[in-house]
Structures are given as C-alpha cells and as structure tokens.
Amino acid sequence: LPKRKADGSNWVTYKERFLNNIMKQGLRAQLAGRKIKPEEPEIREDGKYYLPKASKPLSDDEANATWEKADEWAQNEAKIREVIYETVDQTTFMQIKNEPTAAKMWQALAKITEGRGDTIKVD
C-alpha cells in the first residue's frame, strides 16, 4: 500500500489502493460509518451485567455475545486506523488522530487532501 504523500499529489492512487485494501478486509461498511458501535455491558451493584439504561440483567451468554460484538467493532476500528496511521505523514496523523471513529478519520483525511483543490496529479 503506498504512503499518502504529504502534499496529496498521489491522492487518486492512494485513495483507490486504500479503499481496495479496506474492501478486501471486509471493512467497507465500517469505513463508511454504517456499523454502529455496540453498547457495552456494565456491571451494577448486584454484580450482574446490564446494557446501559436496561432494567433486566443479561444472561452470561448474552453478556458474552455483547462483549464479542463490541470487541469485533473495536478491532475493526483499529484495523482501519492502523492502515491510515501507516500510510500518512506525522503532520497529517496529528491532524486526524483524535477523530472519534475510523469513518470520521477517513472523512477528515479526504477533506484535508481534497480541499487542496485541483492541484492533485496522478502518478
């Protein structure tokens, strides 16, 4: 996967290769922001797990399944973020690192790069 040049001059190539990489990993919906972060169970005073705002405790199987969904979402976020982190320069990294989701991070990167106007060339 090519590194995105700091001046954005290889954006067309970078974007296509990045999106293809994400697609082959099965992460397109997550990158597009269509995967909603699952709620994580919380333990309450009675020692049981509940979903936030729920009055009925989760069974052990339900709690485990809920944790697995939350972990899967977080791992997929990390996969996308890592591809971005490995392919941008330090200055760009500092501009986008605090975005709340990988989808927002990708949108911020695109805005930074595409906002440079029509000076982007194809290499």
Q: What is the pLDDT along the chain (123 residues), one digit of tens a residue?
A: 999 999 999 999 999 999 999 999 999 999 999 999 999 999 999 999 999 999 999 999 999 999 999 999 999 999 999 999 999 999 999 999 999 999 999 999 999 998 764 444 444
- pLDDT score recorded for residue 118: 44
| CB neighbour list of residue 79: distance below 8 Å, 6 or more residues apart | 25, 27
Looking at residue 115, its pLDDT comes to 77
Q: Which residues pair with 43 in a beta bridge?
A: 49
Global confidence as pTM: 0.86
Helices 60-87 & 102-114 angle (0-180, nearest 10): 20
Per the listing, tokens 């922001």 go with 33
Asked if 16 contacts 101 with a C-beta cutoff of 8 angstroms, the reply is no
- Of 15, 3, 9, nearest to 116 by C-alpha is 9
